Amino acid sequence: MAALRIAFLSSQPLEDRRHWSGTMFKMYESLQAQGFDIVWIPTGKFSAREEKIFASIQNIYERTFRRRFNSHHFILKAFLASKKTQKILQSTDYDLLFSPTYINEVAFLNITKPILYLNDGTFNKLIGYNPGFLGMGWLSKKITRLLEEKAFNNAKQLVFSSDWAAKDANKTYGIPSRKISVVKFGANLRVPNFALLEKDYSGPLNILFSGVGWERKGGDIALAAVKILHEKGYDLKFKIMGCTPDVQEVFVEIIPFLNKNYPCELAEIERHLSEAHFMFVPTRTDCSPIAFCEAAGFSLPVISTDTGGVPSIVEHGKTGFLLPENATAEDYANLIEREILNKRVRLKELSENARHKYEEELNWQVWAEKMSEIIKEISAKNA
């Protein structure tokens, strides 16, 4: 029996390990490992004339409403993107179209083969929440939601990486629960064997902040919390990895952005994860932070915020701790002191729980197996 052929939509070649922080490549690699035949379907390129028309629409909207226009998702752009995708698919032999994050390309798509849509959030939830969706005018919001609804209805199955996104698709757009699946992402780097992660929890502790966006990831709050603990006399090292904020504290080590595509830099990322005792990222907005999946793989509990899709990755009180969005640096400092610094045995327990969650849920093998079941079921129904 011939392998099912999946048409995989992506703006970049599937072998590109940088696309979506490596997540696209991991999905491609994982589906291939399940025996599927994968063919890349590049998203259509717009002509200079089309881009000029798009820019004019945006300019007219923003001058008229004096509000931001979502220049990535609007009806004309989606209509043309769907038509370009349809043209490519007409000359492609495939059994199922996989569209990870691409709304425009499937909103107006008219094909007989099933569409499997995946994302880490809904645009409805991102509006007014994610920095890229702030300040939009009411009409642009309405159009964005309309396109999302059309794409959702056009797809045979929706897959989200968190309950937060899945529940919103059901509540906001009325998508039946049977048409929605939750499949969590994995770690986008090499994860060591559990036996290699034995750590000393009795001495000084290494706290790791990992993120490119210092402010969006709550860097100032994390730094202030660790400073409070340092001034109380706790022996702590705070490593900031992925960005370079202007911080001069003696207990801080700055590790600039490291590219996972370079073996030497990947090894350095893995070394810092191995040396850390827990990850502290009080993020302001997040859908499904891959860094938290990677932390779990390295037996790191995560201290973060109860926001977005984070609770699907970090279980409060079991694999880490989540505080409300309005929690202060003092709140985090008190939590860390009470639950970690004064309970070293608890820290080890949290670390073991984090690793178990990685092995059971937060790895690409599990993701691939669950996706394989979904794909085969969709294909069987469409046969």
pLDDT digits (tens, 9 = 90+) for 171-184: 999 999 999 999 99
Q: What is the pLDDT of residue 194?
A: 66
Q: What is the pLDDT of residue 17?
A: 83
**What span, in angstroms and rounded, lies between the C-alpha atoms of 35 and 303?**
38
- The model's pTM: 0.94
Q: Residues 6 or more apart from 54 whose CB is under 8 A from it?
A: 46, 71, 76, 77
Least confident window among 66-70, 108-112, 259-263: 259-263
Contact of 80 with 107, CB cutoff 8 Å = no
Contact of 276 with 296, CB cutoff 8 Å = no
Residue range 264-269: mean pLDDT, rounded? 93
- Return the CATH architecture of domain 5-186+363-382: 3-Layer(aba) Sandwich (3.40)
Beta-ladder partners of 303: 280, 321
**CATH classification number, 194-360, choose in 3.40.50.2000, 1.20.1260.10, 3.40.50.620, 3.10.20.30:** 3.40.50.2000
**What span, in angstroms and rounded, lies between the C-alpha atoms of 336 and 333?**
5
pLDDT digits (tens, 9 = 90+) for 155-166: 999 999 999 999
Ranges for all domains in the chain classified under CATH 3.40.50.2000: 5-186+363-382, 194-360
Q: Tell me which H or E stretch contains 341.
A: none
Q: What is the pLDDT of residue 197?
A: 66
Q: Residues of the chain with pLDDT > 90: what percent? A: 91
**What span, in angstroms and rounded, lies between the C-alpha atoms of 360 and 87?**
41
Q: What is the pLDDT of residue 1?
A: 59
Q: With 0-12 CB in 10 A as exposed, 13-18 as middle and 19+ as buried, what is 93?
A: exposed
Q: Is 151 helix (H, G, I), strand (E, B) or coil?
A: helix
Q: Give the closest residue to 226 by CA, choosing from 341, 364, 62, 89.
A: 341
Contact of 243 with 211, CB cutoff 8 Å = yes
Contact of 237 with 209, CB cutoff 8 Å = no
Q: What is the pLDDT of residue 261?
A: 80
Q: What is the pLDDT of residue 18?
A: 82
> How far is the first Cα of the chain from the last one, in angstroms, to the nearest whole number?
14
Residue range 79-85: mean pLDDT, rounded? 98
Identify the DSSP state of 338.
I
Q: Give the closest residue to 249 by CA, choosing from 286, 219, 276.
A: 219
Apex CA 304: angle with CA 302 and CA 309, to 5°? 100
CA dist 14 to 9, 105, 364, Å? 9, 17, 16
Confidence grade of residue 114 (pLDDT, cut at 50, 70, 90) = very high
Q: Is the pLDDT of residue 200 over 90?
A: no
Q: Is 184 helix (H, G, I), strand (E, B) or coil?
A: coil
How big is the chain by its Cα radius of gyration, in Å?
A: 22
Name the amino acid, one letter, at 91.
Answer: S
**What span, in angstroms and rounded, lies between the C-alpha atoms of 266 and 259?**
7
- Average confidence score pLDDT of the chain: 95
Confidence grade of residue 198 (pLDDT, cut at 50, 70, 90) = confident
What is the Cα 245 distance to its own chain's centre?
23
Q: Is 75 helix (H, G, I), strand (E, B) or coil?
A: helix
**What span, in angstroms and rounded, lies between the C-alpha atoms of 291 and 310?**
11
